[in-house]
Copies of this chain bind each other. A is one copy, B any other.
Amino acid sequence: MIALTHIGTYLPERKISNLDLLNKFEVDESFIRNKIGVVYRTRKEVHEKASDLCIKSFENLQEQTPLNLEDVECCIVVTQNPDMNIPHTSAIVHGALGLPESCACFDISLGCSGYVYSLSVVTAFMQANGMSKGLLFTADPYSDIIDENDKNTALIFGDGATVSLLESDQPGLVALGFDFGSKGASYKSLISDGRLFMNGRAVFNFTASTVPISIRKLLEKLNLTKEQIDAWYLHQGSKYIVDTISTRLGLDRDKVVFDMYEYGNTVSSSIPLLLSSDLYKIQKGQKIGISGFGVGLSWASAILEKV
């Protein structure tokens, strides 16, 4: 059984304040705080690439739990803003960290659903190949593709990265089950070929209608009620979307974690960033729900239990 045992994170120190942009975008402070839920957006340095952010998150992991690099059997990066298209960013990270030659590396291309999907993909890959230690990175530096004059995206996205340590036979979070889905026919609502375009209304409507169904379906499949889940870590798309999903599902609001005011929507890093603060507080037997949604359009939900 492969468990999520530690999470290293990186958020750039440099921040842009949305409060400086009220006039530019003709919005008020309440819109920034209560609707979007992003006051500051973290910004990497212009020359920094996805791999640089990954490496910084790994340094944070090493501070928490010193790893013997020779023990790392796989290194996977989730990104849609790779350093280059060729090679995969995981190869660059592999080289920079000095991981062993026997280490399996590949990238997974997914957006905001990427962490949940990849938890399933990577734990299954490790289990099938008898691996006991793996690194799952998330890093999607949207600052490289955002038009700072586009109100639909300029106030939302922040840069960041995380690395999840996955280990066999260790205390940690293990997945009880997943639900996956895709609406490829609607992919044009959120695209980038160098510059991000988002139809905010379409993405909101997709999320508000799809994610509650995914979570209900998953709970039913696992024979669980929402009351049996101790905390919810939903992708931090915006405060309004997290509020809407919570309301539609009738979730106890004290159980719904929200924390993006200080850094923004970090795409596939949002859920592991949230989880990293609470990981060591979750008690054996407690269950948490996670759900990611966005680019694709794509979604994935999971229930994890601390073992």
Contact = CB atoms under 8 A, between A and B. Distances in A.
A191 B129 contact: no
A95 interface: yes
A88 interface: yes
A201 B80 CA distance: 31
Interface string A175-191: 00010111111110011
Interface stretch (A20-28, A37-45, A119-127, A280-288): A119-127
A178 B130 CA distance: 11
17 contacts: A80-B87, A85-B145, A85-B192, A86-B193, A87-B296, A88-B111, A89-B109, A99-B184, A101-B181, A102-B181, A104-B117, A106-B110, A121-B121, A121-B125, A124-B125, A127-B128, A129-B180
A109 to B, nearest CB: 4
A88 B295 contact: yes
A182 B123 contact: no
Secondary structure dominating the interface of A: mixed
Given A92-B187, A128-B127, A185-B95, A193 B104 contact: no
Contact of A128 (B90, B99, B120, B186): B120
A3 interface: no
Q: How many copies does the complex hold?
A: 2
A167 interface: no
B108 A109 contact: yes
A84 interface: yes
B88 A296 contact: yes
A305 interface: no
Contacts of A128: 120, 123-124, 127-128
Given A82-B85, A93-B184, 5 more contacts: A80-B86, A94-B184, A101-B181, A106-B117, A127-B128
A173 interface: no
A19 interface: no
Contacts of A136: none
A94 B184 CA distance: 5
Contact of A187 (B80, B95, B121, B196): B95
Contacts of A185: 94-95, 98
Contacts of A86: 80, 111, 145, 190-193, 196, 295
Interface in A1-51: none
